[in-house]
Amino acid sequence: MAEAHEGREAGPARLASVLLENGALTSDWLPAYEAVPREAFVPDVFWPGRGGARQGRAIDRTAEPEAWREAVYSDRSLTTQYDDGAHTGPEPGTSPSCSNSQPTMVFSMLATLDAAPGHKALEVGTGTGWCTALLCERLGSPHVFTVEVDPQNAQWARQALRRKGYAPTTVVGDGAEGYAPAAPYDRVLFTASVRDVPQAAVRQTRPGGLIVAPYAPTYGAGAVVQLTVGEDGTASGPFVGGASFMRLRQQRSNRRHTREYLAGNDWPADAVRSRTALSPEDVGDWLPMFVLGLRTSGVFPWAEQYGDTGAYTLWLRDEAVTSWATVDYDPDVTEFVVYQDGPRHLWDEVEAAFAWWTEQGRPGYARFGLTVAPDGIHTPWLDSPLNPVKASAREGLVWPTPPVA
């Protein structure tokens, strides 16, 4: 779709037409979009995300003003921090830890939040402040509260907000705690992904209020969920579409290196060898990965690439560091070699989860939902809360809570 807009000068009008055309920007959010220029919330140096000519290496506004503007008014996320600020230099760091989110995602989430004048909103993950400013424009600054864990990010956003005349309550702290002094909220928006919806967010939302969050199980692929809080303190609702967000800092997975699983041995050590007809390619798209995340527990994938051959090894590991599996993908074969080690047979779990999804007719995001009970138990479901999606570990196995990374 973006191609149709190529040739037009990079700017807010071009990006607006992309967002209107793909449906992310709704007419009720258009005035806020027009009043809050994205460029006012983007630092001079950032690493542009996927989807454009320039990707990866940082763009510096001073050196490349046109490339900078082109990227700012493209439908791409712009990474503004790697590795919690420890990374510097033009090359990308290891893990993105702050970004000005992809505009399509920002406006889809705002539409899902259904925030309107008269609402009081809490945002978790101030980031660059762009989304905060959009909320201020729509709801009025006194009705917007935003929490950011990283003091540097918070400071930068606060200045940008002030320069544009917005004065929300900005808090430096762990957004998983919410912000109790201003509760209850009509709307709570997470702009960092969660694998557990923090209980504070549920408690601080009024009955009938909405929580919108990118929810991503340990497997990694996430989707935006829209939860309605009930009188009894339960929060429940549907997923609306796939989403890729950086994690809430305190909920990062315990991802240990493969050598810790091999315990000093060379791969494949004494793992059990088998073959599978299920291609790692079939389980590698975002939607199946999201479903695998709902149906497995504490498992995460990683692809070890081998140059440009197209071949790779899919690694599966568990957070408890008890089990691992590998599947060798080769574009020229139809059966793939599997090794599994440890008490859990992780590839078998993934295969079973994929088979279950296939038996259900490969449902998309919108047929799934999530219920968070007042005691914090999370239950994903298919079509109805009465039809829970059971994960491998929820069917009898209990895994220890991983330490916070």
**Residues with a known catalytic role:** 101
Q: Which of 67, 75, 25 lies closest to 45, judged by CA? A: 67
249 binds ligand SAM (CB under 6 A): yes
201 binds ligand SAM (CB under 6 A): no
Residues 6+ apart with CB under 8 A from 326: 267, 268, 271, 313, 314, 315, 316, 338, 339
Question: Closest separation between CB of residue 233 and ligand SAM, Å?
Answer: 22
Question: Which residue of 70, 137, 150, 341 would you call a contact of ligand SAM, by CB under 6 A?
Answer: 150
Question: Closest separation between CB of residue 358 and ligand SAM, Å?
Answer: 33
Cβ atoms < 10 Å from Cβ of 144: 29
Question: Which residue of 25, 105, 235, 248 would you call a contact of ligand SAM, by CB under 6 A?
Answer: 248
Q: Which of residues 83-122 bind ligand SAM (CB under 6 A)?
A: 97-101
Rounded distance between C-alpha atoms, residue 172 and residue 187, angstroms: 19
Question: Closest separation between CB of residue 155 and ligand SAM, Å?
Answer: 12
Question: For residue 388, what is the DSSP state?
Answer: B
Cβ atoms < 10 Å from Cβ of 119: 19
| Closer residue to ligand SAM (CB): 110 or 325 | 110
Q: Which of 283, 277, 275, 271 lies closest to 354, judged by CA? A: 283
| Closer residue to ligand SAM (CB): 133 or 346 | 133
Question: Which residue of 48, 92, 175, 220 would you call a contact of ligand SAM, by CB under 6 A?
Answer: 175
Residue 350, phi-psi category: left (phi > 0), alpha (psi -120 to 50), beta (remainder): alpha
Rounded distance between C-alpha atoms, residue 82 and residue 260, angstroms: 25
Question: Closest separation between CB of residue 74 and ligand SAM, Å?
Answer: 15
Applying CB under 6 A, the span of 244-252, 272-280, 357-365, 368-376 interacting with ligand SAM comes to: 244-252
216 binds ligand SAM (CB under 6 A): no
Question: Which residue of 212, 223, 243, 246 would you call a contact of ligand SAM, by CB under 6 A?
Answer: 246
| Burial of 67: CB neighbours in 10 Å, binned 0-12, 13-18, 19+ | middle
Question: Which residue of 39, 64, 174, 328 would you call a contact of ligand SAM, by CB under 6 A?
Answer: 174
153 binds ligand SAM (CB under 6 A): yes
| Closer residue to ligand SAM (CB): 214 or 280 | 214
Q: Which of residues 120-149 bind ligand SAM (CB under 6 A)?
A: 124-125, 127-128, 130-131, 147-149
| Closer residue to ligand SAM (CB): 132 or 297 | 132
> Which residues is 98 bridged to in the sheet?
81
Question: Closest separation between CB of residue 58 and ligand SAM, Å?
Answer: 17
211 binds ligand SAM (CB under 6 A): no
Exposure pattern of 26-59 as b/e (b: 16+ CB <10 Å)?
A: eeebeebbeebbbeebbeeebbbbeeeebeeebb
Question: Closest separation between CB of residue 225 and ligand SAM, Å?
Answer: 16
Question: Closest separation between CB of residue 153 and ligand SAM, Å?
Answer: 4
252 binds ligand SAM (CB under 6 A): no
Q: Are strands 45-48 and 336-341 parallel, antiparallel or unpaired?
A: unpaired
The token pair that represents 100 in the structure block: 């000005």
Q: Is 24 helix (H, G, I), strand (E, B) or coil?
A: coil
| Closer residue to ligand SAM (CB): 49 or 293 | 49
Rounded distance between C-alpha atoms, residue 296 and residue 290, angstroms: 10
Q: Which of residues 265-304 bind ligand SAM (CB under 6 A)?
A: none
Question: For residue 216, what is the DSSP state?
Answer: -
Rounded distance between C-alpha atoms, residue 160 and residue 366, angstroms: 36
| Closer residue to ligand SAM (CB): 150 or 349 | 150
CA triple 350-352-358, angle to 5 deg: 105
DSSP conformation letters of 255-302:
---HHHHHTTSPTTTTPEEEEESS-TTTT-SHHHHHHHHHHSSSEEEE
| Closer residue to ligand SAM (CB): 145 or 312 | 145
192 binds ligand SAM (CB under 6 A): yes
| Closer residue to ligand SAM (CB): 36 or 240 | 36
Query: Which spans of this chain sit near ligand SAM (rule: CB under 6 A)?
Result: 97-101, 124-125, 127-128, 130-131, 147-150, 153, 174-176, 191-192, 245-246, 248-250
